[in-house]
Structures are given as C-alpha cells and as structure tokens.
A and B are shown apart, each in its own frame.
Chain A
Amino acid sequence: MTWYLLRRLGAVVTVLLVLSAIVYALFYLTPGDPAVLACGRGCNAERLALTREKLGLAEPVYAQYWHFLEGLVAGRDYAAGPDVDHCAAPCLGYSFQSDQPVLQLITSRFPVSLSLAFGAEVVALLLGVSAGLLSALRQGRPEERLLTGVTLVGYATPVFLVGLLLLMVFCAYLQWLPFPAYVPLTENPGEWARNLILPWAALGLIQAAVFARITRAGALETLVEDHIRTFRAYGLRERQVIRRHALRGALTPLITITAVEVAQMMTASVLTETMFGLPGVGRLTVESVGSVDLPVVVGVTLLAGTAVVLSNAVADVLSAVADPRVKLI
C-alpha cells in the first residue's frame, strides 16, 4: 500500500511538472510582449525597461521557467533597481492589472466559489442520487421513463441557459428573489443564502443530472450481481436488500468521480459565476482572460490542473479502498 501511494505521488508530481512547463511556455511565448502587458496604461520607455528587468525577461526562457518553479517552492524576489519585492512561496507572481500577488487574488475569491459549490453539491446530491436510485428501482415503469427524460434534458442544457431562465422566472417575472449579489456568510448568513439560491439551483440542477446518471448505472449494475440475488433468494425483504447491500454498490462510483467530471464541474461554475456576477475564482479567470493578465491566467490554469490531477489520484486510491476487487498495482 505504501509503495503504491509513493509511486502514485511520484506520477502526480511528474504530471504537475510537465503541466506547469506547458502552461508556462504556452502563455509566455505568445506573440504579445509580457512587459508591455504588465506595464499597462501610461507606459513609457523607462518604465517598460524597468518592468522588463523586474520580470527577468532578458534571461533565456528556460531560466525564466526555472525562476517560476523556484518561486513556487521557495518564493522569489522581483528586483528592479533599488526596490525589491519579495514574493513568499508558493509564489505565482503579481497580477499585471492590479499588481496584487496572484495567490492572494485567488484565495480572496475562493470563499465565493466554495459557497457556490457547497450549496450546489447539496442540491445535486439530494436530487441526483434519489432520482438515479428511483429510476433504477422502477426499471421499465413510466416513472423510470419520466426520470430518464428529465435527466437527459438536464444533461443537455448548458448551465447558463438554466440560469437565465431561473432569473427570468424568479427575479423578473415573480420577483421573489433579488438579482444575486454576493454577501459573505460571515456578514449576514440569511442574505448569503437568499442571494445564492438561484446560482445553487442552476448549478445544482445541471450537476444533479450527472449524479443521477452515475447513480442509476451503479445501482443497475449492483442489482443484477450474484450476492444481491442470493440475499433475495434467502427471502430478505426488497427494502432491506436495497438499503443494506445495493446502496453501497450504487454509491461507490460517486466517490470515484473522475477527472472528466471534476473538470465539468469547474466549467459549470465558471459559467455560473459569470452568469450571476458572483466574484469567485471562475469570474476572476474570465476577467483575467479578457484583460490578458498572464500571471493570473497561468496561476488559475495551473491550480485547476492540479485540482484535476489530485482528485483523479485520490479517486483511484479511494476506489481501491472501497472496492477490494480493484488491485493496487
């Protein structure tokens, strides 16, 4: 087990290194001059030269990348003439737009994204798992067809369309809810929830469709397995069979949500945050892409990639723990 975990960790680190190299190369070797972008409005030749020195753009690319990695692990200094900025590890550099440290920008936006994800996942798990289970248990009946139909509709609809429709109905037509404006949980929990209801519903409904499909497939697979048939043959009541035995098998695939699904969740939350104007990490990404704020774009892409790689590794380990048939090779 230890050996397996170590090897897995080694693979994760390798993938992350390559990932960072590709992302770095992709964005800093682009046609635009990073110094011009960083220098911003009111730039003159003197300031441009200073920026170039500060970013270390005179050095060869591999040295620049090395400094970038150094910054991630040990922090780095940005020196331009007499003044030196120290950026503590893990250092992702400074935003071209606001001059704030990229990591600080991301962490300051994080509570918003977390608030959104938390409520949406609650909605998605409650709705998705029960819909998935129900449609597996009612196989062949009208309820199943209805549920599968609804799930398919949820699966096919982009989250921003659901968001727009929810806004039209609850905010413009019925006027039950305000147009969402983020209020921190620590400031006013009631307003926090009231403003997040629509985003939670939009993201949660879309996500529920994904969960319903996974749960349904897991339950259908489990229900035909030998041990379930044995329990039934022993005369255990159907309810007991499902609660005690089938549920576990049906829910294992949910623990091991794959990299593809984590990436899908990120996509959906970027769109949801932008749609509802929530100032989370997703919105930050869209803003920094719009203003070609390279350090922020690189930082967010790298962090997102790390999250996908890590969740994939964790899912592998978890599925090995949850299902003894998966071998640790």
Chain B
Amino acid sequence: MTALVDAAAVPGAAPRERRVWRRLRGDRAALAGLAIVAVMIVVALAAPLLTRLEGQDPTTFHSGLLDSARGGVPTGALGGISGEHWLGVEPGTGRDVFARVVHGARVSLGVAFGATVLEMLFGVVIGLGAGLGGGRADAVLSRLIELSLAFPPFLLALALMAIVPQSVPRPLLLAAVISLVSWGNVARVTRAQALSLRTREYVDAARLSGAGPARIAVREILPGLTTPLLVLAALKAPINMVQEAGLSFLGAGVRPPTPSWGQMLSSATTWFRTDPMYVLVPGGLLFLTLLAFTLFADGVRKAADPRWSARA
C-alpha cells in the first residue's frame, strides 16, 4: 500500500522539476549567470592552486613595492600590476591583490552558501513543525516566525557580531549569525506550503496506511516542497552574500589579514583617490558575482512560476 502511494506521489513532483529545468534552459541570461557563478566557485575552490601558480600568497607584505613619498601607494601603473603581481599590490601593505581576491572569494562565497544552507535548515524544520504540528505547536511557532521577521536582520547581525568573542572563527560565525537572523521567510513559506500539502489525498492515504508524523513530513510533504525551497535558496544566496560584504565592510565581519571582498572594499575607502584599481578589483568581482547570482535566481523564479511578477 505504502509503495503504491509513494509511486503516486512521485509523478506529481518529478515533471514539475523537469518543467522548471526545461524553461530555465531557454533563459540565456539565467544560464550566463549560472556560468559566472560556477566560474567563481571554481576560482574559490582552486584559490591555493592559483596563488601558487602566481607565486604569491595573500598575507606577505611587500613594502618595497610601495611609494612611501606618496603615502604608500603601489609604484607603477594601475596599482602596481606586473608579471609577478597579476592584479597589483595592496596600498599601505603591499600584499598581493590577486592572491587576496581569490582567497577572498572563498570567504565571500563560502559564507553566502553556508548561511543559505543553515538558514534553509532552520526555516524548514520550524516551518514544517508549524505547518504539520497544528494546534498549539503552530500557534507558538507562528508567533516565533512573526517575531523573527520583526527584527531588522542586518542590524541584529551587526550587534551579534560585536558580542561574540574574537576567538571564534569569523567566517563560521558570519554564516551562523546571518542564517540566525534571516530564517523567518523560509519558515513562513515552508509553513504555508506544508499547510496546503497536508490535506492532499496522497498524504491522507499515507496517514491511513499508518505512517508516523516524521515519515509523513520527510517522505510525503518535503518532496512537494523542493521546488519552492530551491527557488527561495537561489534568491537568498546573493542576499546573504551582500550581508557578509556589508558586515565585513563595517569591520564587523572578517578582519585582516583574512581577506573577503567586503573587507577589501572597506580598506579601499581610504585609498579611492590615489589607487582606484584597489576599489575596482574587489568591487568589480563582488558586483559581477552578485549580478550573475541575481540573474540566475530571477530565472529560476520565472521558470518555477510563469505567472511570475516582480514582487517577492
């Protein structure tokens, strides 16, 4: 009986995902976005390899390459670009910009993905609990969700980053804090979907055949949630990336010598007059990645819901 019901549930879910994928394949902008994000991920993963290829590392000072008469600006054109330092050196310290940028990609992307995964996890667990628990559990969890949405997430993250001791690894902390302040939306969507799915016939059938609540949540409800949750994750990842960049920009995220794109832009604020390259390199990468991510996420959303409107 159970096998029969499961088989009936799957055909309902699978064609939907295939349909989304087919529509997405026709969206050139979204595919270009996906390609750029993929390249960035490869760069981030291969960071140690790339820096070894260049022969530099992200933390060594090269004060010999700085013009002390001009306040520590790199000597040479375009922020000191040369065969040895592919994207020049950092003003003030002489650290290699290419090495910092590719290692920074690890932090920027790592925190964005880590926070998204954690956030989906919190949101789905709480949302499923509220949607399927019903009664008092739903009332309590729904209030909790509302409450989490009342906090201004960035401000709360900023404040939380300040009170945690510096000994905790910053990138991990960033992912945890960002997910902690922004799971509310995921929980709300999950709850709403779970509420509409739990009255479906195949769920009733599973219940009648003796499946327990945990089994129903995981085997019957969760598969029906994959598409909306994947769309939400795609939308959330770039938002989380902006959060990380913003926190690091304000000095509350990762701190030097650890690089991230936001941290590099933060130190670039004092050099924008004399060394524009130092703004343009991390800024351009951050912009390109966010744009690519947003294009991809927009495409996924359009593909999942053809009656798509620009409002979230």
Q: In the docked arrangement, what's the CA distance between A292 and B160, Å?
A: 10
Q: In the docked arrangement, what's the CA distance between A160 and B248, Å?
A: 12
**Contact call B152/A304, Cβ cutoff below 8 A:** yes
Residue A64 at the chain B interface, CB threshold 8 Å: no
**Contact call A155/B272, Cβ cutoff below 8 A:** no
Which single member of A32, A153, A275 contacts B269 (CB below 8 Å)? A275
Those of A1-60 within 8 Å (CB) of chain B: 15, 18-19, 22, 26-27, 30-32
**Contact call A172/B273, Cβ cutoff below 8 A:** yes
**Contact call B309/A220, Cβ cutoff below 8 A:** yes
Residue B3 at the chain A interface, CB threshold 8 Å: no
Q: In the docked arrangement, what's the CA distance between A22 and B251, Å?
A: 25
**Contact call A158/B245, Cβ cutoff below 8 A:** yes
**Contact call A270/B155, Cβ cutoff below 8 A:** yes
**Contact call B286/A305, Cβ cutoff below 8 A:** no
Interface size on A, residues (CB 8 A): 54
Please judge, given known A-B contacts A161-B265, A275-B269, whether A308 and B151 are in contact too, CB under 8 Å: yes
Those of A59-92 within 8 Å (CB) of chain B: none
**Contact call B155/A304, Cβ cutoff below 8 A:** yes
* Secondary structure type dominating chain A contacts: helix
Contact with B along A281-323 (1 / 0, CB 8 A): 0000110011010000100110011001100100000000000
B157 to chain A, nearest CB (A): 9
Residue A104 at the chain B interface, CB threshold 8 Å: no
Which single member of A30, A217, A289, A300 contacts B310 (CB below 8 Å)? A217
Q: In the docked arrangement, what's the CA distance between A286 and B286, Å?
A: 22
Q: In the docked arrangement, what's the CA distance between A300 and B151, Å?
A: 12
**Contact call A263/B153, Cβ cutoff below 8 A:** yes
Please judge, given known A-B contacts A160-B265, A217-B311, whether A289 and B161 are in contact too, CB under 8 Å: yes
Please judge, given known A-B contacts A153-B291, A156-B238, A213-B310, whether A31 and B165 are in contact too, CB under 8 Å: yes
B280 to chain A, nearest CB (A): 9
Q: Which residues from A are CB-within-8-Å of B48?
A: none
**Contact call B155/A168, Cβ cutoff below 8 A:** no
A2 to chain B, nearest CB (A): 23
Residue B98 at the chain A interface, CB threshold 8 Å: no
Q: In the docked arrangement, what's the CA distance between A85 and B202, Å?
A: 67
**Contact call A214/B283, Cβ cutoff below 8 A:** no
Residue A253 at the chain B interface, CB threshold 8 Å: yes
Chain B residue nearest to A289 (CB atoms) is: B162
Which single member of B146, B185, B249, B298 contacts A160 (CB below 8 Å)? B249
**Contact call B290/A301, Cβ cutoff below 8 A:** no
Please judge, given known A-B contacts A165-B283, A271-B246, A286-B250, whether A156 and B150 are in contact too, CB under 8 Å: no
B20 to chain A, nearest CB (A): 20
Q: Which residues from B are CB-within-8-Å of A31?
A: 163, 165
Q: Which residues from A are CB-within-8-Å of B268?
A: 164
Chain B residue nearest to A179 (CB atoms) is: B273
Q: In the docked arrangement, what's the CA distance between A113 and B299, Å?
A: 36
**Contact call B150/A305, Cβ cutoff below 8 A:** yes
Residue B113 at the chain A interface, CB threshold 8 Å: no
Contact with B along A197-226 (1 / 0, CB 8 A): 000000000000000011011101100000
Q: In the docked arrangement, what's the CA distance between A308 and B273, Å?
A: 37
B284 to chain A, nearest CB (A): 9
Contact with B along A241-285 (1 / 0, CB 8 A): 000000000000100000110110011001100110000000001
Residue A236 at the chain B interface, CB threshold 8 Å: no
Residue B21 at the chain A interface, CB threshold 8 Å: no
Q: In the docked arrangement, what's the CA distance between A285 and B147, Å?
A: 22
Contact with A along B185-225 (1 / 0, CB 8 A): 10000000000000000000000000000000000000000
Q: In the docked arrangement, what's the CA distance between A290 and B309, Å?
A: 41
Residue A108 at the chain B interface, CB threshold 8 Å: no
**Contact call B150/A308, Cβ cutoff below 8 A:** yes
For B154, B155, B276, which residue has the most chain A Cβ atoms within 10 angstroms? B155
Chain B residue nearest to A148 (CB atoms) is: B310
Residue A326 at the chain B interface, CB threshold 8 Å: no
Residue B234 at the chain A interface, CB threshold 8 Å: no
**Contact call A213/B150, Cβ cutoff below 8 A:** no
**Contact call B162/A167, Cβ cutoff below 8 A:** no
Q: Which residues from A are CB-within-8-Å of B311?
A: 213-214, 217-218, 253
**Contact call A308/B272, Cβ cutoff below 8 A:** no
Residue A152 at the chain B interface, CB threshold 8 Å: yes
**Contact call A156/B294, Cβ cutoff below 8 A:** yes
Q: In the docked arrangement, what's the CA distance between A72 and B241, Å?
A: 37
Q: Which residues from B are CB-within-8-Å of A289?
A: 158-159, 161-162, 250, 252
**Contact call B162/A19, Cβ cutoff below 8 A:** no
Please judge, given known A-B contacts A156-B293, A217-B311, whether A290 and B251 are in contact too, CB under 8 Å: yes
Please judge, given known A-B contacts A168-B276, A221-B309, whether A301 and B156 are in contact too, CB under 8 Å: yes
Q: Which residues from B are CB-within-8-Å of A171?
A: 273
B279 to chain A, nearest CB (A): 5
A134 to chain B, nearest CB (A): 14
**Contact call A297/B150, Cβ cutoff below 8 A:** no
**Contact call B147/A27, Cβ cutoff below 8 A:** no
Q: List 11 A-B contacts (CB under 8 A).
A: A26-B163, A27-B159, A27-B163, A32-B163, A158-B246, A168-B276, A220-B310, A260-B185, A263-B155, A271-B246, A271-B250
Interface set of B (CB-CB < 8 Å, partner A): 146-147, 149-156, 158-163, 165, 185, 238, 242, 245-246, 249-252, 262, 265, 268-269, 272-273, 276, 279, 283, 286-287, 290-291, 293-295, 298, 309-312
Known: A221-B309, A259-B150, A308-B151. 13 other contacts (CB 8 A): A26-B160, A31-B165, A156-B291, A156-B293, A157-B287, A165-B279, A172-B276, A263-B153, A263-B155, A271-B249, A289-B159, A290-B252, A309-B150
Q: Which 6 A-B pairs have the closest CB atoms?
A: A267-B154, A217-B310, A263-B152, A289-B162, A217-B311, A156-B294
